[in-house]
Amino acid sequence: MKITGISTIVVNAKMRNWVFVRVDTSVPGLYGWGEATLNWKTRAVTGAVEDLAQLMIGTDPRDIEQAVRRMNKHSYYRLGIIGASAISGIEHALWDISAKELGVPVWRLLGGKVRERVDLYSHPGLGEMKTLYEDTFDPSKLIEASQKVLDKGFRAVKVVCIPYSHATTTRAACRNLERLGIALRQGLGDDAAIMVDFHGRAATVSATLEYIKALEPMGPMFVEEPVQPGDTKAMREIVERSPVPIATGERLVGLREFDELLSARACHIVQPDLNHCGGLLEAKKVATLAEIAQAGVAPHNPNGPLAAMASLHFGISTPNFVILEAMPGAVPWYNDVVEGLPEMVDGRWSAPDKPGMGIEVNEKEAAKHPFQQEVLHTQTAVLDDGTLVDW
């Protein structure tokens, strides 16, 4: 069996463009699907997939470890988030092909089943950017939007309610955050799990810790990415002083970056994005490091349905998996573009039983939603004096 072609389909889903990757083989009717979605980098990623395809044509798609090594080592220059996302999408498709050939679900090839189902969480507004990033500072709007997530069947929700910040914060900002967190907890009740995404907005450890302290009465399941990625010393200091669990990792690429974080015991929960970290195989290696470091794994996944399925197979087969981020129904036609998605029951997805990833892309429906430039919401990350800060 040989790879005969690698192509992409871009599907605009309002908040982001999904990048679907198709790998064709020399076996008639046997092909695989993956996803390489990356915010605001759609054209760069599709170009990277096209470049990497030249290394893959004519090789055996079942040699997945070798394929990933080939794309990394024979690229010569070390690949960043764009190249790693392209590799991830191709790699997902190789697992799909290998499992389809054997007639088994992908999780069977990842070590088998360690659980029957995985817990899910989503965000206020699902695919609506204004609801997620702007309405979250109004307690009544935040509670209403979060409750709608629970009403859809989720039992957990993640919010982004940290104000744009710099090196310091203010007592007023911290008191507002504390009141917001308490109101959200009271509004949703004790049974709902609530997570808070910091987006690395505070520029210092001291400001970050002030915000974390303000959120303690709410009792978050975890706070995510409290500082910008790559600062292991800062993360370690936060972990040592935080009264709540700390998660991070969505913007890290490859095993080496995760190794530094986990070797330093600098988080309680690691969040590889299977669209960006290098794929399923790399994520499994990260999970092993996390297990040694007594850390859980909660894949970052605000992406499309193919990435969600890859993450589901990962969760079914990974012992220290905690919870999965997913956005089913982010657009009204979500289930039209991809067929075979699992039904959520009691806030969970069960282990797929179909061969491969277990889903099929309807290319005719996908073509109805071509690429559009996403809203560059990062440009709102500006303080009132004109200082540009982290989104």
Q: Which residues are catalytic?
A: 199, 300
Contacts (Cβ under 8 Å, ≥6 apart) of 41: 81, 82, 85
Q: How far is CA 37 from the centre of its chain?
A: 10
The alpha helices in 116-170, defined as continuous H runs, are 129-133, 139-151
Distance CA 192, CA 124 (A): 14
Nearest to 272 by CA among 291, 292, 252: 252
Contacts (Cβ under 8 Å, ≥6 apart) of 7: 21, 22, 24
Q: Are 196 and 158 in contact (CB under 8 A)?
A: yes
Q: What is the DSSP string of 185-207?
A: HHHH-TTSEEEEE-TT-SSSHHH
Distance CA 248, CA 228 (A): 9
Retrieve residue 111's tokens: 């070590």
